Amino acid sequence: MAAGARMIAEMGEQPDVLRRMIARADGLADSVRAIAPRPLAGTAIVARGSSDHASVYGRYLLELATGRPVSLAAPSLHLLYGARVDYRGQLAIAVSQSGRTPEIVTTLTRLRDSGARALAITNDAGSDLAAAGDALVALDAGAELAVPATKTVTAELLAFALIARALGEVPFSDADLAALPDAVTWVLQDVEPARRAAFALVGDTRLVVTARGLLLGAAFEAALKLQETSGIAADGISAADLRHGPIAIVDAGFPVLALSAPGPAFEDVAELVVTLRERGARVLTIGEQPGADLPLPPVVEGLAPIVAVVRAQQLARELALARGRDPDAPEGLNKVTRT
């Protein structure tokens, strides 16, 4: 099998995976509402790796939708330090592609035992994580064989969008949801920008990926995909945080990947791009603005992270191949990490 064949095949399944999930959005909403505490005091999300990046997106959407605080739970507090926390009134959401990461399953169980209502998001409806929840959001993305998660990540992002839709007002419409699979198809069929960007980065050993607001989780996921497939030392960082101490590392020729979409955070990221270029940085942009290096089709900001992640997957695969690596099976990595 050619290098990267599995990754590109699984990336190509994403429009259909998303379309199937959208078709069952109302049933999913009923399941979520049935277990959500009333009144809802807040939400705690438990995840690692790519699922954690999807959770950053979920944190923004859920806090907007519910008007209640949303936190990213720290498994170490419960598993290593024995923290005793009252989770009554909380919705605990645990996210794992495999449903077999022990610390995620155990943490969800402990939050549930501490009073939370538990919701599991996983691709394996028969997994331990699925059994630990009061309700399940099954991704139904099919088996994912390439080590870098692709279709399960975008399915997790969509799962959070649909959960937020179930619990409150969201920054996208049902028509926007219906258009999402076609937007992903548009990106998948437009490979050349990713190849050009990969050529521009092929000799680099480090990279910063930046965004703000709803796209921050997508920036984190883009950095991870570049790390694990191509071996580049990529760091995801908020555009606001980058302006502080970290900007000191950005000197002449330093590569930066900036993600943005029309919305409240757009101007801030655009101003940062100008600042970075004034410092001599080589900035590549993912967005729908004219002249973007990695263009996106018009997508409402609330769903743009899903499409931006697909563009980042494309770049990661092309950069890995350009550097003589097999993105399907990065050296030293396994599909399931047991922490």
Is the pLDDT higher at 333 or at 263? 263
Q: Which residues pair with 93 in a beta bridge?
A: 45, 119
Burial class (CB in 10 A: 0-12, 13-18, 19+), 48: middle
**For the segment 178-221, what is each residue's pLDDT rounded down to a tens digit?**
999 999 999 999 999 999 999 999 999 999 999 999 999 999 99
In the chain, domain spans: 5-170, 181-322
Catalytic residue status for 335 = yes
Q: What is residue 76's predicted lDDT score, i.e. its pLDDT?
A: 94
Give one DSSP letter per residue of 180-206, joined into a string.
Answer: HHHHHHHHHT--HHHHHHHHHHTT-SE
> Residue 320 corresponds to which amino acid?
A
Question: Is 132 a residue whose pLDDT tops 70?
Answer: yes
Half-sphere exposure of 31 toward its Cβ, with a 13 Å CA cutoff? 18
pLDDT of residue 283: 97
242-256, 263-277, 313-327: least confident range? 242-256
**Residue 115 scores a pLDDT above 70:** yes
**Same topology for domains 5-170 and 181-322, yes or no?**
yes
- Joined together, the tokens standing for residue 89 give 């009134």
**DSSP bridge partners of 136:** 120
pTM, two decimal places? 0.96
Candidate list 112, 234, 335, 339, residue with the active-site label: 335
What CATH number has the domain spanning 181-322?
3.40.50.10490
Average pLDDT of span 316-332: 88
Residue range 5-170, CATH number? 3.40.50.10490
Asked if 93 and 46 touch (Cβ cutoff 8 Å), the reply is yes
Burial of 339 (0-12, 13-18, 19+ CB in 10 A): exposed
Which pLDDT belongs to residue 336? 56
Asked whether residue 332 carries a pLDDT value surpassing 90, the answer given is no
For residue 30, how many other CB atoms are within 10 A of its CB? 11
Q: What is the pLDDT of residues 26-55, one digit of tens each?
A: 999 999 999 999 999 999 999 999 999 999
pLDDT at 309: 98
User: In this structure, what token pair is assigned to residue 285?
Assistant: 């942009």
- Cβ of 169: how many Cβ atoms within 10 Å? 10
- Higher local confidence (pLDDT), 171 or 328: 171
- Amino acid (1-letter code) at residue 137: V
Q: Is 74 exposed, middle or buried (0-12, 13-18, 19+ CB in 10 A)?
A: middle
Between CA 136 and CA 185 the distance in angstroms is: 28
Whole-angstrom CA distances from 244 to 56, 128, 237, 254, 265 are 21, 42, 11, 17, 17
Phi then psi for residue 186, to 5 deg, are: -55, -45
At 245 the pLDDT is 84
